[in-house]
Amino acid sequence: MKSHFWAAAALCCISVSVLITSCDVDDIPTSGNAIVNINTATLYDKLGITDLMTETMSEYDFVTVVDTVLVYDQQGLLVAKEGTESSSLETVSIDLSDLPLGAYTVVAWQTTSRGIDPSWPLVDEEKLSTVHLIIQPFLTAPTATYAIGMYSTTLTIGNTTETIQADMEPMGSVVDFRVDGFTSESDYSRIALYAWTSDVFINGFYLDPSRQEEERWVHPDNTPEWTHSMGLIIPLMPQKQFFTLAHGENKELRAYGLNKTTKKEKYLYDALFTLNPGTNATFYFDLDKYAYQPPYFGLTEDFSDWKAARDDEYLISDPFIQWGADYQAVRNHVESKMWWRPYNDDLEADEHGWFRYYRIARRLFEVYYFKTEDGKDLFRTFVYTDTDIPTVRAYYHIKKQGFTLKGILRYPEEPGRNYLYFLSPDGKTQALLLEYETGNWQIFYMPTDPKDLARIIPTPLT
């Protein structure tokens, strides 16, 4: 019995020895591969600038699309960096070879190169917690071709080759800056568009996907009141598209013109719109009419319809004239328009009642009067200008609203003043147009007063 046991034990040892020697330790995998596929057109499709990118790359052969991939281990340390360039919008593949088995964080971004230093240099890339992009100092007005897209995911390297489909998400917005009426004869040699910082100036962003919301943005040590100009327009270039990291609710953009004589910038216009990463927006105004026509700052896809519906012969104003309404009803009406801007902070009082100003265009205002301090009982609305906007604009604006000219109204207590008197279709509202000797004018809307009707002097005007 004992001899059989030792014989079996010896046989077992021989079998184990054979098994061990027959398995080469070099055959056990210690690393693996991954492939990252990127459709380079996706970023520009989402920003609505695919045609622009295609035209730019066709015209300038030194413009290329650059895609870069970084791989970080579980300690957040960089273990691989790969990239590729392409001269057309196509799907590119980036190979990640010989990565040790394990779990990783993969981040990728896409932008363009113009054959010079990168427009968005990579900074502090050795750690995932610190790696970020910043804009080159000389790129104060990056065109849309400098748009950035980002992608991130987790990756586990095992015995098979992993495949990643990386769809880039825009990290900023494209603003289409347009100005009509800007020629070589204008008072300005250029017009610049700026983003109001509201104490937050952004010049880059972090790639770490764990950073969310405002944590992802890079802010310089010295925060200027204004960013550098988002874009410049000169008379021979009436349209320009720009990429910006500016974002936020009711983001304010302001346009300034560089005066040819004084060589100083003059404020022209500002407007508000909510910019989110991936937004394609248009900022537009007409330099010849900006005193009485508001700008457009909204989605680019809606701009053509807005511009087609705009009538250049009339003011753009939609006064609220539902008498007896409260302050909130007025606010809901006025503040639903894209062009409104507050002119005073809230209701104020004068000898007539409690009022609120709104700026409708650069030099065009709407004012609403209420009978009580808490904004009850709207009883008067007026539209006015403090500059020399032609009175005929106001005249045709009232006619367009459906009012009928009834004649001239003169008040005994205001000798020498002639009001053009208009009546609404339902007869409940009267509109009085008064032109001042300075060339300014006002339109007063109020409930119809029978005493005023009795004072009307007929006029042949229509």
What count of residues does the chain have?
462
pLDDT digits (tens, 9 = 90+) for 36-79: 999 999 999 999 999 999 998 998 888 899 999 999 999 999 99
Question: Binning pLDDT at 50, 70 and 90, where does residue 6 land?
Answer: very low
- Residue-averaged pLDDT of the chain: 86
Stronger pLDDT, 440 or 45, i.e. the higher one = 45
Is 225's pLDDT higher than 80?
Answer: no
Q: Do 176 and 147 meet the contact criterion of CB atoms below 8 Å apart? A: no
Give start and end residues of each alpha helix (H) in 23-103: 41-47, 50-59
pLDDT, mean of residues 342-360: 90
Give the model confidence (pLDDT) of 397-422 as tens digits. 999 999 999 999 999 888 889 999 99
Percent of the chain with pLDDT strictly greater than 70: 88
Instruction: Give me the pLDDT at residue 309, please.
Output: 76
CA distance 435 to 442: 7
Q: What is the mean pLDDT of residues 100-126?
A: 89
Mean pLDDT across the stretch 283-308? 89
Q: Are 341 and 335 a contacting pair, CB within 8 Å?
A: no
- For residue 369, what are the β-bridge partners? 355, 380
Q: What is the pLDDT of residue 198?
A: 53
Domain with CATH 2.60.40 in the chain: 29-170, 173-307
Q: Is the pLDDT of residue 139 over 50?
A: yes
Residue 357's alpha-carbon distances to 112, 138, 254, 331, 368, in angstroms, are: 46, 41, 21, 11, 7
Of 2.60.40, 2.60.120, 3.90.550, 3.10.450, which CATH number belongs to 173-307? 2.60.40
Specify the amino acid at residue 354.
W
When mean pLDDT is compared over 72-81, 200-209, 213-222, 251-260, the highest value belongs to 72-81
Higher pLDDT, 360 or 140: 360
Give the pLDDT score at 440.
Answer: 86
Mean pLDDT of 438-451: 92
Q: In 3D, which of 335, 352, 353, 351 has the Cα closest to residue 343?
A: 335
First to last CA, the chain: 131
Residue type, 134: I
Within 10 angstroms of residue 280's Cβ, the number of other Cβ atoms is 19
Using 50, 70 and 90 to split pLDDT, how confident is the model at 158?
A: confident
CA–CA separation, 175 vs 171, rounded Å?
13
Domain 29-170, CATH: 2.60.40
CB atoms inside a 10 Å sphere around CB 389? 22
Instruction: Check if the beta carbon of residue 369 is closer than 8 Å to that of residue 378.
Output: yes
135 burial type by CB count under 10 A (0-12 exposed, 13-18 middle, 19+ buried): buried
